Amino acid sequence: MLLAAALGLVLVVAGGGAAAWLLLDGDDGDTRATNEDGPKEPTDLEPADGSLVFAEGAPGISPDRSALVARGAWFVDGALVRVLDSAVVAQDPGTGEELWRLPVERNVDRSQRECPVSANVDENRIALLQGGHCEMLTVVDIAAGEELVTWPVELPAPPGPYDEPAIIGDTVALAGGSATGGAGYRISTGERLWYANRYDDGCADVGYGVIEGELVARHGCGEQVVHDAESGGSVRGLDEEGNEAWSWEYTPEYEEGTLSVDGVLALEPLTVLASLGDGEGEVGADAVLVVSDNLAAVSHRVDFDSERHANCAASNVRCPVVPGEEGKVLLVPTATAGETGGELVAFDLTTGDPIWEATPTEGHEELIPFLGPGDSLHAYQPSAGSLPGSLVALSAETGESRTVMRLDESAAERETAMVRKAGVATTRPVAPLWHPETATFALVSEEFSSREQGLPALLVYR
């Protein structure tokens, strides 16, 4: 059962060579990643038959509140660590035994959404917001289950439910309230390193993320900073002190319409997720744009069809970027009637052209891609009826797949209930995680509602 294939992630996350971060409509598309490195190539080519070793149900939710969001799951030193609405918890993935629990206050009455968590892990640490108005910023060691530091967030407005902090080295960066400003803090001392306030100069950092090991800020100007078609903005690389290392500035005009940058998918080449307007005030199609090497202008547009390809900003969509032989490759699921479809399309970011298309195997209907240690590429194929799901490894160069694990046939009904909406063949926000050293595969639900009482929230296979 031991496989040296490397795992998968957040989202963006997490999450984050991940799905787009700094997304305005809600996710982080969050992809989350394990912090452990592993071999890039499998040594055992025979698929394993995974048995369900333990499961947990969804928490109880009152009918008068919106969906409960509990994003953030990783394998850390062999333990499964999850961020829940009221605690960060570590469990033994073989038995489900709780190893430690760190209480946090993430359930916000004001917005009925949970306070956000960093999409990335840095040196076994995450950053999360907590408090009645997400007014406290906390750094947690998720290997030891210890709170390292907590300090009050001093921004003109409290952070929103999608304003994820970013953690790198001795720095945590946070944008608050989308249109008010951003700040950076030193973890070791708690001091504030920088602060950009829109009310002072009309511009603000509206989101931070760690992309390919670098702190990146999305900067906007104007009355409405976010989606402001009047002023444009910039994407900037920052060092841990908040100093600008590089910058790409864009105007609000693009081709015959307008441009608004919603998120960053990759660096080298700088690849952004954008909304394109028609020039008359209407925001239209989603687009993926690649910036030239000298950051002078948009080099080319990825051959992305918003009517066929899933929106990488959606909470149930993961669009990882992986290194290929000729350059980086962007993976985008197809979409049907606005919902995630069955195929997976790979785009060469060097040219923007599609290079291969993968379809589900063995009777499955969907491929959910995710990244792991060593930037290995995997995909989860959800159960279809009585057919249990499976884990496959994908080639970034060709899209060819190899089955790594077939999931427990006796648990197919529970798996289907977890990953599908009732009566609709659409994947719910579920994070797949693969730990090659112990050949453990986990499915972690990231969102629950009062209509889903009794559904599984966690399934772990070995």
β-strands 48-49, 401-406: how paired? Answer: parallel
pLDDT tens for the 462 residues of the chain, in order: 333 333 333 333 333 333 344 443 333 333 334 444 443 444 456 889 999 999 998 776 666 666 777 789 999 999 999 998 889 999 999 999 999 999 998 876 645 578 899 999 999 999 999 988 888 999 999 999 999 999 888 877 777 777 899 999 999 999 875 557 889 999 998 888 998 777 666 778 888 999 999 999 998 876 554 444 456 889 999 999 999 999 999 988 888 788 888 889 999 999 999 888 776 555 556 889 999 999 999 999 999 888 888 888 776 788 999 998 889 999 999 976 445 568 999 999 999 999 999 999 988 988 999 987 777 899 999 998 789 999 999 999 999 999 999 999 999 999 998 887 544 344 567 899 999 999 999 999 888 776 666 778 899 999
Q: Round to whole Å and give the CA distance between 2 and 218.
A: 41
Instruction: Kindly give the residue spans of alpha helices, DSSP state H, lying in 130-260.
Output: 198-201
pLDDT digits (tens, 9 = 90+) for 277-328: 776 555 556 889 999 999 999 999 999 888 888 888 776 788 999 998 889 9
Q: Using an 8 Å Cβ cutoff, are 162 and 24 in contact?
A: yes
Q: Distance (Å, rounded) from C-alpha 124 to C-alpha 141?
A: 6
User: What is the C-alpha to C-alpha distance for residues 315 and 410, in angstroms, rounded to an integer?
Assistant: 29
